[in-house]
A and B are shown apart, each in its own frame.
Chain A
C-alpha cells in the first residue's frame, strides 16, 4: 500500500513519509508503554494500599501528557505529509495530463479524468493519510502492550505473544483472498453500468419492441451478475473478519482461563492478573479494528490504482534534438496505424505539396478524421512515417509542430470565457485589429453584433450558449488568427441552416487560401475546390486523383457521389 502510494506520488516523498510513519510508531509505542504504569497503580489500588498509587498516578499523568504532545506532533506531521502529497499529486497529474497524446482522450476519458482529478484524488489522499495513523496504532500499540505483559508475567505474556503470528497470517490471507473478488466485482459493476446506459439510450426502441413490460433480460442478467459478484466479495471477506474476531476472542479467553488458573494456584497475585486482563482488553479493540481499516485501505487502493494507470500511460516522446521543418509539404509514407485491435491505416502513402489542397473522402468509419489526427501527431503511427517539410513529425518539437498547424475540428470546443478570449487562443499576442480582422473574415462579426455582450459575451462551458454554426465560425476565426501555414480541416457533416452554412463556407475558403490544406470533405462543392482527392475505405486509399478524373473513372468515388449528388447538386 505504502509502496503503491509512493509509486503514484513519486519517491521524492519517501523521506517525509518515513518521518511521519516513524512519528506515528513512536506515538503508538508511547501509548502502549504508558499502560505499563497501570500495573503499579492497580497493584496499589487493588492490593489494599491505595495511598501508594498516587506517585504512580502522577507518573501516568506525565506519560499521558507526553503522549498528548507526541500525538499532536504526529498528527501535524501526518497533515503536512497529506497536504504536500496532495499538492504534489495535483502537479504531477496536471503535468502528465498535459503531455499525454491527445488520442488518449476519447469520449469516455473526460468523465473519468474529471472525477479522478476532482474528488477522487482528494479521497484517495485523505483516506490514505487518514488511515495510516489508525493502522500504525492498531498494530504497534497491542505489540507494545504484549511486551509490557511479558515483562510483568512471562507466562501470560507468552500466551498473548502466541496470537501475534496468527493475527498477522489472517490479515495477509484476507488481503489475498479479497483482491481477486474485488477485481471481479469491479468488472461486473463496469459491465452493468454499460448495460444501464445502453438500456437508457435504447429506451425508444426497446419500448417499441415492448421490451420493458417484461424485464429486459440483457440488463437484468447483468444486474443479477452484479449482485452475485457483490455476494461473493462479502463471502470472501467474511472468513477474514470472523477469523480475526475468533482469534482475538480466543486469545482473551485463554488469558482469562490462564489467569484464573495461575491465581487459583497461588502463582501470581490477584492484582497482577486483573491488571494484565485490563491490558489485554485494551488490545482487543485496536486489533478488531484492523479488519475495518483493511477494508477502507482496499477502497483507497482502487482509487490509487486508477491514478497509477493514468500516470503510467506513456506520453508521446519528445525528440532529444528537435529538427525545424524547412517547408510545409505533408507526407504519409507507408503508414500503418492501429487503434486498439483495429487497423485504421494499412500501408497508406500520400503527399500534399506545399500550398496545395487535398480532400479526403470516404464512407463513415473509413478513418478520415484519424488521418488528420495522425498528421497533427495526436497519435504516433505504428509503422511508416508522417513528415512535414521532409522531417518526421516525431523529430519535431511538439510546440513547433503545433505552431505550424491550424485545426478546425468537426466538434468545436470553446472554453468558458468570452468570445474574444476564445478567438485569441489562436494567437494570444495578436493585436486588436488582427483579432477583428480574423472575426470579419470568418463572418463572426455578424454573430458578435447580434449578441448582447458583443465581444465580451460569455460562451458558456464548451460553447453551449452558441449554436453549432456560430461555434464553427469562432473556430474558423481562431484558425485564421493563428495564421499557420498548414490547415487541417474536418468539415461538419451536419447540415447547418443556410445562413450559417454560407458563412462557414466563406470562412473556410478564406482560411484555406494559400496554405497547405488537408480537409475531410462531406460536401461535393468543397471537394471540387481541392487540387487532389483521395478516396479512403477500409484503411486504404482506394482511389486518388482530381475530382473530375475520378468522376470520369466511374469507380468507387464516382459511385459515392452518384448516390448523393442530388443533395449538393453543383448548381
Chain B
C-alpha cells in the first residue's frame, strides 16, 4: 500500500465494527421486500467461503497422513484430495451464484429505490423544489442510489470473507493447538494496538486541516470556473488562477505533511499484517513448540495455511469501509427525500361548485420563518381578470403559486368553488386550474406531446388550434419534423418560443381558472403579443389572475391588487386606484418614468388606462 491510500481510510479513524449496521434501520426498511434474496446472497456466500477452506484442510490432512509414521494409505490420500477439490467446486458455484444474485438484486433494489423516489418527488409540495437545485435532487436519484451498490452487491461477500472465514479458521486452529493459535494472533494484536496512535490529537488536527484545505480547493474551483468569463474579460485570469493554484498547493502541502506523519505508523501496521511477517511469527512459535516436543510437526501446517487469513478482519477495517461510509451517507440523503411529507390528499375529495376563487386570511412563511404573505383576503370572481402588482419581494409569486397548490398556506385557506383546496383531489384541482409561470420547462419529447401534456388525449386538431392561438404554429411547421419534432434532440426552441408552447399548453388545458405570471422572461415581443392574444380569446367566464409587469395588462384588468410586503395595500379598478392617488398611483408613475427615462419625449402610447 502506498501511503496515499490513507486518504480514504482517514474518514473512519477507528472503524467501529458496526459501521455498517449504523444505517441498518433505514436500509432494512428499504430492503425488506428483498429480505429472502438478501439472505440467500449472504448464506450462499457463507457456505461457499467456508467450503473454500476445504482444499487447505485437505493439504493439512494429506500432511497428517504423509507425516505419520508408517506407509501412507493411498486410498485415504485420494479421498482427502477429492474432498478438497469438491470443496473448491462448491465454493466456485456458490460464490458465483451469490455474486450473480447479489448484482441482480442490486439492480432491482436500485430500480425500486429510484421509482419510489420518483413517486415521492411527484407528490411533495412543488415549493419544496424551489429551495433545492434540481441538480442536487437529481443527484440523490442518480448517484446516491448508485452509491448503495457496495452495500448490497459487495458487503455480504466482503463481510463474510472478513469475519466468518477467520472465525471458522480460529475455532479450528484453537482445536488444533491453542498455544500456537495465540501466537498466530500476535500480528493482529500488534496492528490493533497501533490504531490509537493514528488518533492522537495531532493526527486529528491534521485531518481537520486536510478537510479544510479540500474545502478551499472546491471553493476556489467553483469561483475560478463560474467567474471565468468575468475574470478573462477583466484581465484577472492570472489572479484567479493564482488563487486556485495556491489552494491546490496548500492542499498538497497539508496532504504531504499528513501522509508523512502517518506513514511510519501505517507502514508498521502494514508490515505487521503482511504475509512474510505473519509466517515468520508462526514459524518461530511453531519451531519452538515442535523442538520442545509440545506439538506434532503436522499440526504446524494448518497455521501456515489458515493463519494468514486471521488478519483479514483488521485489513478489511481499512478498506471497504470507505465505500460503506459513502453508501451510508447516500442512504441518509435518500431517506431524507423519501421522508419529505407529501401534500396530503383528502380521504373524501369534495367537488367544487363553480370556479370562484377565494383567499381567506392567508398567511404563508417559508421554512426559515420568513413570513411572505401576511393575511391576504382576496376574491377572484369568474369572468374577471385580476392583475397583481407590487415591487419585487412583495409576495406576488408566492401568492399565485398557492392557487395550483404548490404550497399550502400556513394559516387561512384558499377556496375554489367554495371548497378548500386541501379538500380537493389533485386530479380535480388540475382540471380546474392551469398556469403559465416564468420558468418554462419543455420535455425531451415531441412538440405535440409537450403541448398536450395536461390533456394527453387531445386530438391533433386541438393541439394545432392551441398552437395557432399561442402564435407558435408557424414556428413548429418550420421544425424538421413539424409537430413530431423531439425538442432537445431534433431541434431547440428559444426562450420565447418555449414560453409560447407553454401558453399553448395552458390554452389547450382550457381550465376555468388561469394563473399567469406575465414574467420578466417575456422578453421578446412576439411572446408578449401571443400572451395578450391568448388572454383576449378566452371566453368570458374564466377566473384569471395575472402578475402584471406591463402597464397595459394592468390597465386592461378588471381589478388591480397592489401588494406590498406581503399585504394588500390597495385594490380596485385601475381608474379608481389612479384617482385615489395612493400607493398604486405612485407605483404607476414611477414605472412610467422608468419606462420613459432617456427617451426624447413624444406622445405617450398605450400606457394610459382605458
Contact = CB atoms under 8 A, between A and B. Distances in A.
A270 B297 contact: no
Nearest to A403: B235
Interface string A86-109: 110011001101100010010001
A227 B599 contact: no
A563 interface: yes
Contacts of B222: 110, 114, 461
Nearest to A526: B598
Interface in B472-520: 492-497, 505, 509, 520
A314 B235 CA distance: 20
B229 A378 contact: yes
Given A230-B107, A246-B92, A399-B235, A87 B283 contact: no
Interface string A182-193: 000000010011
B138 A245 contact: no
B2 A75 contact: yes
Interface in A241-282: 241-242, 245-246, 249, 252-253, 256-257, 259-260, 263-264, 270-271, 273-274, 277-278, 281-282
A212 B245 contact: no
B225 A212 contact: no
Nearest to A193: B142
Contacts of A569: 595-596, 604-607
Given A78-B2, A117-B221, A210-B427, A197 B134 contact: yes
Contacts of A264: 72, 74, 77
Contact of A208 (B100, B430, B590): B430
Given A253-B88, A256-B81, A363 B225 contact: no
Contact of A274 (B63, B597, B600): B63
Contact of A365 (B95, B103, B497, B596): B497
A281 B305 contact: yes
Given A79-B259, A130-B2, A216-B118, A71 B286 contact: no
Interface residues of B, number: 169
A202 to B, nearest CB: 5
A552 interface: no
Nearest to B233: A407
A571 B99 contact: no
B605 A57 contact: no
Interface of B is mostly: helix
A265 B278 CA distance: 33
Contact of B259 (A50, A83, A216, A230): A83
Contacts of B256: 79, 83
A42 B305 CA distance: 13
Contacts of B492: 342, 365
B164 to A, nearest CB: 17
Interface stretch (A165-173, A443-451, A492-500): A492-500
A111 B221 CA distance: 10
Interface in A419-468: 425-426, 428, 461-462, 467
Given A102-B228, A207-B426, A83 B4 contact: yes
B595 A567 contact: yes
Given A91-B245, A407-B233, A231 B104 contact: yes
A34 interface: yes
20 contacts: A35-B279, A75-B267, A78-B4, A94-B224, A94-B241, A110-B225, A130-B8, A205-B441, A223-B114, A224-B111, A256-B59, A256-B84, A281-B305, A402-B235, A413-B229, A416-B223, A498-B587, A564-B524, A566-B552, A567-B552
Give the top 6 A-B pairs by smallest Cβ distance, nearest first.
A571-B596, A365-B494, A78-B2, A212-B122, A564-B525, A130-B5
Given A86-B252, A126-B8, A501-B594, 20 more contacts: A34-B276, A45-B300, A53-B283, A54-B287, A57-B283, A79-B256, A91-B248, A113-B221, A118-B217, A129-B5, A192-B142, A208-B430, A220-B115, A263-B66, A270-B63, A363-B526, A364-B494, A416-B223, A509-B598, A565-B605
